[in-house]
Amino acid sequence: MDRNFVSERADPVNDRRLSYGPLRTDRRRYDVAFALTKEAFWMMALLSSIGLWAAIWAAAASMASAWLQ
């Protein structure tokens, strides 16, 4: 077998641009998904916090109303 033929066939397999190209795309997709997940977590934490404060204020207003009557 000719050495040039073997080296030509081996180069595309060992080329980093070809072997790591899809992984970079997958990594970007993972980063986007992770960022959206992180944003969703913080949004849920914020909404839960607002809901908790609303429940506390409702309980305080109810107790104040009962005490004033």
| Separation between Cα atoms, residue 53 and residue 47, nearest integer Å | 10
Domain residue extents for the chain: 3-68
**Confidence (pLDDT) at 35:** 80
Q: Phi then psi for 32, rounded to 5 degrees?
A: -65, -45
Per-residue model confidence (pLDDT) at position 49 = 97
- Would you write out the chain's pLDDT as a tens digit for each of its 69 residues? 555 555 555 555 555 555 555 566 677 877 877 887 888 899 999 999 999 999 999 999 999 999 998
* Res 62: pLDDT: 96
Check residue 29 and give its pLDDT.
79
C-alpha distance across the termini of the chain, in Å: 101
For the chain, where are the alpha helices, taking DSSP H only?
3-14, 16-68
